[in-house]
Structure 1
Amino acid sequence: MHSFQLLHGNEGGHYCIRNVYMIYFLHGPDTYRSRKKLNEIIGEYRKKAGSHLNMYRLDAERDDLRTLKNLCEIQSLFSSKKLIVIENALSAGKDLEFLADVFSRVRESQDMVVLLWDGELNTAVKKGLSHIEKIASKIQEFKILQGEDLREWIRFEAHERNVALSPSELLWLASFGGDVWKITNELEKLLLTGKSSAGAQEKELTIFNLGDSFFISKKDALHTFHRLIDSGQDEFGIFSYLANHLRTLYTIKFYSERNRPIPSSQKIHPFVVKKASALVRSLSLKRLARLMTNFFEEDVKIKIGLSRPKDSLVRILFEGNERKE
């Protein structure tokens, strides 16, 4: 008796089925696409095997994986093909050596396929990948889509749903920065109603919107940043503006804490002082100083060619805003 193996050329490629065993591992932060691929593989196996397929599904976060040994060894009188789907085996912190030992039995079987699915793996968990790599037939990672790859995926998904996107709608959807679950929800909304939430977002974003959010809201800042980049805003100009804006915030905070007026030599317009004063209330002087250090270090990397401004800004956004004093 034989089982089937699904082979692929790339993430978007078509699968063909051959009569050999398989252990397949899907993982990565883009859980929408990895789950879609998982369901596609299961669907192909069901279609090919028909009534000869016996399927088992386990979640390592709630199920006892010791039952795997029995599933691998049990023989069915009614089914010649066996498909075992296991979710969260690595992220749940299970004994990977035990799993590797059980899965090694699959290599000796001609009627069994194991599909492993996991979301984003942290650094500690990734160290355990070596156990899976030794016995897996195929490993596929689904990374967060960015830039043109993301826009191309949106076009494909819209085409699959027979949804026609305007340029502004495509730009708006791409501004979610790889949150494909949210993008998919908006595409479904367009399919059902013919309208997206983009209408509420129609007012043009400017670099000043980013200045309002960059130092206080990581989520809003990342959303605005991607929209500005995708709309063609110069990344060098964005970096320069934010660096100057940070110096202004630091100056206003410095004099505010000392209850002293800002000297005219600083050349900061009263309107800017009034608006920024509200912003710096939630920011400590220590944190602003640390952010200035981050900008200085990244500016050096940019000037010597070790980084691009957009990459530096993302690092500052996540590292510089990691702690709040």
Structure 2
Amino acid sequence: MIFFLYGPNTYASRKKLRELVEGFRVKSGSSFSIERFDAEERQVAEARAAIGSSSLFQEKKLVVVERVLSAGTWWPEVRRFLKEWGRTADTNFIFWDEDVGERYAEEVRELRVASEKAQEFTSPTPADVMRFIAEHPTARRQKLSPSYQTALIQRFGPDLWGINNELEKAACATHPEAPIGLSRQERPYVFLDALVEGRPDAMAHFFSLREAGVDDFYIWGSLVSAVRALAAFTAAGETKGAAASVEKGLRLHAFVAQKARRQAKRFTKGFLLDLYRDLFDWDTRLKTGGAALEDAVWAIGARIRESGTGRIGAI
């Protein structure tokens, strides 16, 4: 089966892509297998090799190809195999692209014909943008004035990515229409401290890192490492020897280790181990495109905040 998602509204098409991937993941369970290719960075031969490989324990494979048309190099080869891939019983395909315009009109037509499901995500109208703002979680949690919503539209137009980022910043602020200013000099440890300590400004620091150009997977790796350190110190107990062993084993700077030991005292061993196990599920969803990093950060932060500020979790 072939799915084709394309068009200038990449916010909506990316959301749909995540939903499709997550749907396949849930349906496939433990046999879920996915291969992702960005046509601007990888060769079509790699995709053909991946499609040809299979496992006895694998029911179906999902292959996601981004920028299949706009990259310019994949289409001639993909075109040759479209009918064959469309009939492949054990592999599903999702082709995603941006605003390909009139330049690829014929290719779009061919790919639509070959696809079981094709969807164009056109540029949002002013009414679409207003609806997007009204349905955004920030707007549902906080009352946004008409003037603020108008200012968003005037500033960003149909750019839903920009509007979403501004609304996420507003959600972190004391007053919803006065978002916390983002720092271009943001540091990951500031965000991690805020998250671990359950502070409401954690998401503001997260988006500061984003605007400063810090890679998503670097942020995620730092978060996982921080939780792992907390869990390790809590499991090791209070003795100096055990703590020193954790510090050495994780190769932590003495100051970082001291801070992690202090932060770990807020939690029980059971809570941190459960949280660390949850990270494995989030890791799979993030790396397969089933979730966005902000989803994971929101969920983890909410779990910490909702657990309170004392010794939390169950032993």
Give the TM-score normalised by structure 1: 0.51
Letter in 1 for 2:35: Y
- How many positions carry a matched residue from both structures? 179
Question: Which residue, 163, 176, 189 being the options, matches 1:195?
Answer: 176
Residue aligning to 1:81: 60
Residue aligning to 1:184: 164
Residue aligning to 1:286: none
C-alpha offsets along residues 97-152 of structure 1, whole Å, 9 cap, x if unaligned?
A: 42033232223222211011111113222232133123111111111212222101
d(CA) in 1 for partners of 2:78 and 2:20? 21
Q: Compared with structure 1, are the counterparts of its residues 59 and 168 closer, same or farther at alpha carbon in structure 2 (3 Å cutoff)? A: same
Alignment of 1:72-111 (within 5 A): 72-111=51-90
Q: Any conservation in 2 of the 1:69–1:102 contact (CA below 8 Å)?
A: no
Q: Any conservation in 2 of the 1:55–1:82 contact (CA below 8 Å)?
A: yes
Runs of 4+ in 1 over 3 A off after TM superposition: 158-161, 194-200
Deviation for aligned residue 1:92: 0.5
Q: Compared with structure 1, are the counterparts of its residues 173 and 130 closer, same or farther at alpha carbon in structure 2 (3 Å cutoff)? A: same
Letter in 1 for 2:147: S
Letter in 2 for 1:179: D
Deviation for aligned residue 1:51: 1.1
d(CA) in 2 for partners of 1:102 and 1:32? 29
For structure 1, the residue ranges without an aligned partner over 5 or more in a row are: 1-21, 201-325
Residue aligning to 1:149: 128
Q: Any conservation in 2 of the 1:68–1:102 contact (CA below 8 Å)?
A: no
Matched, 1:139 2:118: yes
Letter in 1 for 2:176: K
Q: Compared with structure 1, are the counterparts of its residues 160 and 58 closer, same or farther at alpha carbon in structure 2 (3 Å cutoff)? A: farther
Letter in 2 for 1:41: L
Query: 3-state DSSP class of the match of 2:158?
Result: coil
Q: Compared with structure 1, are the counterparts of its residues 81 and 74 closer, same or farther at alpha carbon in structure 2 (3 Å cutoff)? A: same
1 or 2 for the larger relative contact order (CA 8 Å, sep ≥6)?
Answer: 2
Query: 3-state DSSP class of the match of 1:128?
Result: helix
d(CA) in 2 for partners of 1:142 and 1:191? 27
Q: Compared with structure 1, are the counterparts of its residues 102 and 163 closer, same or farther at alpha carbon in structure 2 (3 Å cutoff)? A: farther
Structure with larger Rg: 1
For structure 2, the residue ranges without an aligned partner over 5 or more in a row are: 182-315
Matched, 1:64 2:43: yes
Residue aligning to 1:166: 145
Residue aligning to 1:206: none
d(CA) in 2 for partners of 1:36 and 1:68? 23
C-alpha offsets along residues 248-306 of structure 1, whole Å, 9 cap, x if unaligned?
A: xxxxxxxxxxxxxxxxxxxxxxxxxxxxxxxxxxxxxxxxxxxxxxxxxxxxxxxxxxx
Letter in 2 for 1:50: G
Q: Compared with structure 1, are the counterparts of its residues 107 and 146 closer, same or farther at alpha carbon in structure 2 (3 Å cutoff)? A: closer
Q: Any conservation in 2 of the 1:32–1:180 contact (CA below 8 Å)?
A: yes
Q: Any conservation in 2 of the 1:29–1:142 contact (CA below 8 Å)?
A: yes
Q: Compared with structure 1, are the counterparts of its residues 67 and 24 closer, same or farther at alpha carbon in structure 2 (3 Å cutoff)? A: same
d(CA) in 2 for partners of 1:102 and 1:66? 12
Letter in 2 for 1:122: G
C-alpha offsets along residues 165-220 of structure 1, whole Å, 9 cap, x if unaligned?
A: 221122122222111111001110111113335899xxxxxxxxxxxxxxxxxxxx
Alignment of 1:218-257 (within 5 A): none
Residue aligning to 2:105: 126
